[in-house]
Amino acid sequence: MANSSYGPLSLIGLLVNDKPGVMMKITGMFARRGFNIASITVGHSEKPGVSRITIGAEGDEDTIEQIIKQLNKLIDVIKVQNLRPENTAVRECALVKIAYKDHSNLQEITTIIDLYKAKAIDVSDQFIIIEIVGSPNKVSSFINVIEEIAPIKELVRSGLLGIIKGKSTLNLD
């Protein structure tokens, strides 16, 4: 995912045992080795008892190779794969809370929301929460455009999600 909104990074997909302490072991390995995590997401996989983790890691090819080797040594890590940009679908979600001044400002904001195919998920007096989903570049572009129109009061980004395109998969088969 070189040159994404997170800077030069690679995505690494993991399948791990779904039990307490696994995330601590993974992040501890990164800390001990001096590797930086730019993004990390975790959730249940298609198989009960197995979680899927996507890590956006900073570093050149040699660094990423070393990270993968170190991850493979961890007991609760079942499978690790470098999710290369050319064969991976990557998405991110962000929630953006902005303040608006008046009706004309709201119209301008609504136009931008529509342009980016985002959603206003909560509209209250003077505040809107917007959901934007897409490539990291699309999410960053939306944030840059919307903050020129209205002040961002709060921003939450999900981290990157990646899944291999086509027939290949990262699973237990």
**What pLDDT, on the 0 to 100 scale, is given for residue 8?**
64
Q: Which residues contact 164 (CB under 8 A, 6 or more apart)?
A: 13, 81, 83, 87, 88, 89, 170
CATH superfamily label, 9-83: ACT domain (3.30.70.260)
Element (H or E) spanning 43, and its range? strand 37-44
Whether the domain at 9-83 and the domain at 89-157 fall into the same CATH topology: yes
d(CA 64, CA 166): 23
150 closest CA partner among 98, 90, 87, 88: 98
CA nearest 22: which of 1, 46, 49?
A: 49
The CA-based angle 126-127-130, given to 5 degrees, is 145
CATH hierarchy code of domain 89-157: 3.30.70.1150
What is the rounded CA–CA span in Å between residue 165 and residue 34? Answer: 31
Query: Residue-wise pLDDT tens for the chain (173 aa)?
Result: 434 444 568 999 999 999 999 999 999 999 999 999 999 999 999 999 999 999 999 888 899 999 999 999 999 999 999 999 899 999 999 999 999 988 888 999 999 999 999 999 999 989 999 999 999 999 999 999 999 999 999 999 999 999 999 888 888 77
Spatial distance between the Cα atoms of 25 and 88, rounded to a whole number of angstroms: 26
Q: How far apart are CA 18 and CA 131, in angstroms?
A: 29
Q: Looking at residue 76, what DSSP letter applies?
A: T
Contacts of 137 (CB under 8 A, 6+ apart): 4, 5
- What is the pTM assigned to this prediction? 0.83
Please give the DSSP secondary-structure letter assigned to residue 35: P
Q: Where are the domains of the chain?
A: 9-83, 89-157
